Each structure stands twice: as C-alpha cells, then as structure tokens.
Amino acid sequence: MSFASWLEGVWYGSRAPLWLKPMGTLFGAVSGARRFGYAKGWFASVRLESPVVVIGNITVGGTGKTPLVIWLCEALAQRGLKPGVVSRGYGGSVSGARLVQPSDEAALVGDEPLLMARRLNVPVAVGRERPRAAQLLLDAGCRVVVSDDGLQHLALQRDCEIVVMDAVRQLGNGALLPAGPLREPAARLRSVAAVVSNGESPALLDLAVPQFSMHLTGESAHSLAGLPARPLASFTGAPVHAVAGIGHPERFFAWLRLAGLEVIAHPLPDHALIRREDIHFADGLQVLMTEKDAVKCARIAGREHWSVPVEAAFTEVDGAQLLEVVLRAIGASNVAKG
C-alpha cells in the first residue's frame, strides 16, 4: 500500500494517528492567520467591477466542482448574464494570464479549463493570479465571474460561495491536513451561501445554510478517434478498462458499474500526465475514461478509446432554489429567463 493510499484510508476510514494531529493544528493556525490577514487588509485582495461566484470545497480531492461550474454557467447564460470562468489552470504550464481556446493543449492551460472551454460557449481564463485572469473575462464582455475551485484563493473577493461535498465521504474524519482531508475547519461551511452534496441521499449537515443534492448523469461515450458516439449500455457483455485521473477515481468506476458495465479499474493521480502505456492494453478491450482525462489523450488514443462526459443534475426544485441563491447574492434575482 502506498503512503497516499494509507493516508486516504486514515482520512475517510479512521481517526488520525496521534503523531499527525499536531501537524493538523499547525496547518489550522497558519490557515486561520492567513484568512485573518486578508480580513484585516494586510494582504491585497481585489474587488472586480462585476460579481464573483466561487465554487470550491473545503476537502482535498475531487467532489464534482467542474460539472457544477458548467451547470451554473449554462443557467446564467440562459438568463443573459454573460458568465465567464476563471481557474488557476492546475497542471498547465502557462505563465501569466490567458483566455483558453478550445484548440489549446491541456499541458498548457490545464485539463479542467480546457474541458470547460470545449463544453461551454463562454470565455474561460486561467492564471495563477486570479484577479488578473478574471479581468480578461471582463475585458471579453463577461458580467459574472465564476471561479472554479477558488474558495481558498482570497486574493479575489467574492459575492457568493458555494461548497461542493462528496455525499458519501463528506468531511472524512473531520481533521485538518494532514491529519484529515480538510483544507479549512468544518465551521467554514457556516459562512457560505450554499452546500451542494454530490451523490444520492446525502445526510444533511447541521448547518444554517441551504443544502442541495446533485448527481451526475451521462448516457453516452464519445470516441477519441472520431467514431460515432455510443450509448453506455452498448459496452455491456464484455469487460472494459476504465481510466480515471480525478480526485476520487472510485466514483467514476462505481458509476460505470451502476450502468451495468464490468469494469477493470485503472485509478491515476488527480491531474495525472497520462502516458501511452496508461491507456493502451494488450487485450484489445474497449477503454473508457473521464472527459477530464480524455482532453489529454487525443494524440495517443486509438479506436478503442472513449470519453464519458457527465453533467450535473438537480431536481427541479433544488435546481431552481440553488440558482435563486446565486442570483440573490449577485443582485440579479429579478432577471427573467431568456
């Protein structure tokens, strides 16, 4: 067992060892001091001319933020609010700030920003200095900035914060890094506009903020070799390889199994640089991968490689109420759907 696997088992399966707890206490002290410094104005924090909505989490690893960013941008665009997405561009090599083009390489701009630039009909900007990248969106005509995974990036002021949480794993053992998976204390959830749980039948937390349930949907696979799309159900009857370099790969594998597929799982680290040997197998079976991984594989993929895009879905009531939370926070609740 690798150290990373052991640590994840500690975070989500048991109490942290005593020797890790002082490190968590130190991490919390540093994180709290940093937030206090921003609140006091000791560190520079930029207020944009347009409202900012942050979608993030307080845990390490993937929770489903990117599908929610896409859902929200589409909902805002339907109401004529001209959204744009700002992201750090993790895993990309770009220096400075840049508007992402669908023709870009993931190695330059990052896998998630490239995915969003290809899925969304709105501008996407990347940059380590998010205020600078966000200004590119305003210059491009955007009137609402949606920050992907920007909860802890306090250099950019915000009007609305939404936290996405795994419905099953939730906050793990409740300890701060490295004793647990938390980037910030659990009490931080009480200051956000809403908490969205990704997964079925989440247990509600004891919070005085709105909580909503989201699930991911997807019924087709798209060929990386330009073949016609296929229903997921067409991959039953034989095993398939499944590749996932996301924060919680098991969620992808479990989702495919729920669709009736026999899965040979190949988990990779989040934002992994995917090599040819990671996706080519001697048995000739079909290979399914997340859309986030697929944007990095066009040059090395064959006819057996398929991307499985997913979308965030809510009940009609939850979707409408979550959108209203955002619209009220950015002062646009009176904007009718176009």
Confidence of residue 208 (pLDDT cuts 50, 70, 90): confident
Cβ 316 vs Cβ 263: under 8 Å? no
Confidence of residue 125 (pLDDT cuts 50, 70, 90): very high
Closest CA to 184 of 213, 163, 169, 212: 163
The CA distance from 226 to 72, in Å, is 29
Q: DSSP 3-state helix, strand, coil percentages of the chain (rounded to 5)?
A: 35, 20, 45
Residue 338 has pLDDT above 50, yes or no: no
Please return the burial class of 284, using the count of CB atoms within 10 Å of its CB with bins 0-12, 13-18 and 19+.
Answer: exposed
Please state which of the ranges 13-17, 283-287, 328-332 shows the lowest mean pLDDT. Answer: 13-17
Residue 202 has pLDDT above 70, yes or no: no
- Average model confidence (pLDDT) across the chain: 93
The CA distance from 134 to 329, in Å, is 19
Average of per-residue pLDDT across 228-247? 95
- Write down the pLDDT at residue 118: 96
The structure tokens listed for 32 are 């709290």
Residue type, 25: T
Query: What values do phi and psi take at 257, rounded to 5?
Result: -65, -40
Residue type, 316: E
Confidence of residue 335 (pLDDT cuts 50, 70, 90): low
Average of per-residue pLDDT across 31-51? 95
Residue 253 three-state SS? helix
Closest CA to 123 of 107, 140, 106: 140
- In tens, the pLDDT along 131-142 reads 999 999 999 999
Average of per-residue pLDDT across 222-242? 96
Query: Kind of pairing, strands 220-223 and 305-308?
Result: antiparallel
